[in-house]
Amino acid sequence: MKGIYWLASYPKSGNTWTRAFIWHFLDKRETAFDINSLFTGPISSSRDIFDEYSGLESGELSWDEIERLRPEVFRAASAQTEGPLYCKCHDAYSFLPDGQTPIIPPDVTLGALCLIRNPMDVCVSFAHHGGHKNYDRSLKMMNDPNAHLVRHPHKQGEQLPQRLLSWSGFIESWTYAKGFPVKVVRYEDMKQKPLETFTGIACFLGFEVDQSSIEEALEATRFERLQEQEKNSGFKEKLPRAKRFFRKGQIGSWREELNDAQVAAIIESHRDVMRKYGYLDEHDQVLY
């Protein structure tokens, strides 16, 4: 079956763990799992993929020109594969300037996992991912409805710019998308109810599921194992400024890092979505 399953997430919300699980579950080789061989499909923002399937040099195009071509690039990538792709995506579900044409084309989309995490923990983890502890900087980006990733006007990286939106805006953009099924998965459930949660992920992605295969994949991709591999061999997806990619992976570590003003700012900006997905009660008490 051709098509794309989008693994859509705001950064530092469990995307790499999910891809590791998928890779191990689908891989039939007897070799040990290796984080640096991890590939379930290209990231949606890959510059190389864009250049390959568009036949153009993205560095010679404007951002508007690139965006107009991206839906066709995704269609071409889907058409030239034998089976489903499981593509990491930090792009919000957004539209071209006509307001009608989605950049992620529904006609080649089999479904989307929307992976979410308590924004308090995202704020802390996102800062460390960037190689700093300036949580106000992360907070400003998470609260910005026009936030982008990798949009550097004076340099060209391996990835194209991505329209991220705010934390709430990103989640709502995907959960309100039409034309394909969307499954919301909380990072906290991945940690606290792994067998149940990853079984649900596998079923959504159309895998032939049995409990032993799920348990084997979960054991092989435990956070401590991924962390140890990075310690011994490095991890190619780690940003140069970050000390490590697999840092803590904990629930609630924000309580040791964020001050009251930062917590209040996150609640004020994201109250509705936090309540909707069980991160906040009716008295504004954070539940994780």
Q: Is residue 82 part of a domain?
A: yes
Helices (H) and strands (E) in the chain, counts: 11, 6
Which residues are CB-contacts of 260 (< 8 A; sequence separation ≥ 6)? none
pTM for the full predicted model: 0.90
48-81: per-residue pLDDT in tens? 999 999 999 999 999 899 999 999 999 999 998 8
Domain contains 126:
no
Q: Mean pLDDT over residues 190-194, rounded?
A: 95
Domain around 42: 3-119+144-242
- Please say if the pLDDT value at position 87 is more than 60: yes
Q: How confident is the model at residue 148 (pLDDT cuts 50, 70, 90)?
A: very high
Confidence band (pLDDT; 50, 70, 90) for 236? Answer: low
User: If pLDDT is split at 50, 70 and 90, which confidence band does 144 have?
Assistant: very high
Q: How much is the mean pLDDT over the chain?
A: 89
Pick 150 or 221 by higher pLDDT: 221
Q: Which two tokens stand for residue 90?
A: 């930090």
Confidence band (pLDDT; 50, 70, 90) for 215?
very high
Residue 83 near residue 153, CB atoms below 8 Å: no
Which CATH number characterizes residue 180's domain? 3.40.50.300
Residue 204 lies in a domain: yes
pLDDT computed for residue 220 by the predictor = 84
Number of domain units in the chain: 1
Task: Please give the Cα distance from 40 to 125 (Å, whole number).
Answer: 24
